[in-house]
Amino acid sequence: MKVAFKMKLKPGFSEEYKKRHDQIWPELSELLTENGVTDYTIFLDEETNDIFAVQKLMGQGSQDLGQTEIVQKWWAYMADIMETNPDNSPLSNPLKTVFHLD
């Protein structure tokens, strides 16, 4: 199953987002892989600062792993450059699939 959701980056932080993501990615990708995420792509719309994430799931998605230490660390690390909920999780909206091609 594939899921997609939209998040929002604060203006002027696209390079910082990439830098921080690269720094935490090794431990985060290990957790995601262990929990059934087999494909994860993030896109940035530089005009609107919208971030679009697409995951192929065989188990839990990244949003379902919010109680793990690594995801808590990720959320806290990104909280000052993204729009977030009070628990530092990114504000996110699930996106509806309109078309799909395998």
Give the pLDDT confidence of 74-92 residue by residue, as tens digits.
999 999 999 999 999 999 9
> Would you state the pLDDT for residue 101?
85
> Would you state the pLDDT for residue 62?
57
The rounded distance, in Å, linking the Cα atoms of 20 and 100 is: 31
> Would you state the pLDDT for residue 64?
66
The rounded distance, in Å, linking the Cα atoms of 91 and 102 is: 29
Selected catalytic residue, list 8, 10, 20, 21: 21
What's the pTM?
Answer: 0.83
Band of residue 60 on the pLDDT scale cut at 50, 70, 90: low
| 100 labelled catalytic | no
Q: Sketch the domain layout of the chain as residue ranges.
A: 2-93
Fold of 2-93: Alpha-Beta Plaits (3.30.70)
Digit-coded pLDDT (tens) for 34-57: 888 888 899 999 999 999 999 887
The rounded distance, in Å, linking the Cα atoms of 20 and 62 is: 17
> Would you state the pLDDT for residue 96?
92
Digit-coded pLDDT (tens) for 10-37: 999 999 999 999 998 898 899 888 888 8
